[in-house]
Structure 1
């Protein structure tokens, strides 16, 4: 019963992250935050799955390392976009200008 509730919570977190990603796609910061929320929900799902089957947690550490690298890359793209264009709107970003 406990595992079922955690799976439903993780699924709800994942779907709400996807809904926010679709609805707030105009700002880069909002999309990055929703992607990090999706990664956290997947981490929670993996952790509960490994805890249920009594596996080792090494893969979750590798998953966290890759998610931190993804977050750092997204923030660097955000900083470079704000420095060059002044904001994080996708409407003002023109690929042909660069």
Structure 2
């Protein structure tokens, strides 16, 4: 595969992740999974760009650290919401 084809595939994956994020807004778990999918596509894009430019991969390690922290925070919010409300529906969650 050429680099142009890989770039189109990554853009398509990111658009699919955004569509899932926008359309499936009833469950917190699906939202978190789509966010992690978008983070992985951004990671693949950064990997491709940094390897093409022959840069060091330290920025990818920093990005992965932030992605893991974001995933752990989302999982803790999910567990807290399930313990307090019994499910992950946003309709049963009242902000007032």
- TM-score of the superposition, structure 2-length normalised? 0.97
Which 4+ residue blocks in structure 1 deviate beyond 4 angstroms?
A: none
Distance in 2, Cα, partners of 1:87 & 1:80 = 10
The answer on 1:55 being equivalent to 2:55 is yes
Residue 3 of structure 1 deviates from its aligned partner by 1.5
1:78 aligns with 78
Q: Describe the SS at the equivalent of 1:95.
A: coil
Mapped to 2, the partners of 1:3 and 1:62 lie a distance apart of 25
Match in the other structure for 1:92? 92
1:5 alignment counterpart: 5
Distance 1:48 1:90 in 2: 37
Displacement, 1:2? 1.9
TM-score, normalised by the number of residues in structure 1: 0.95
Q: Which runs of 5+ in 2 are unaligned?
A: none
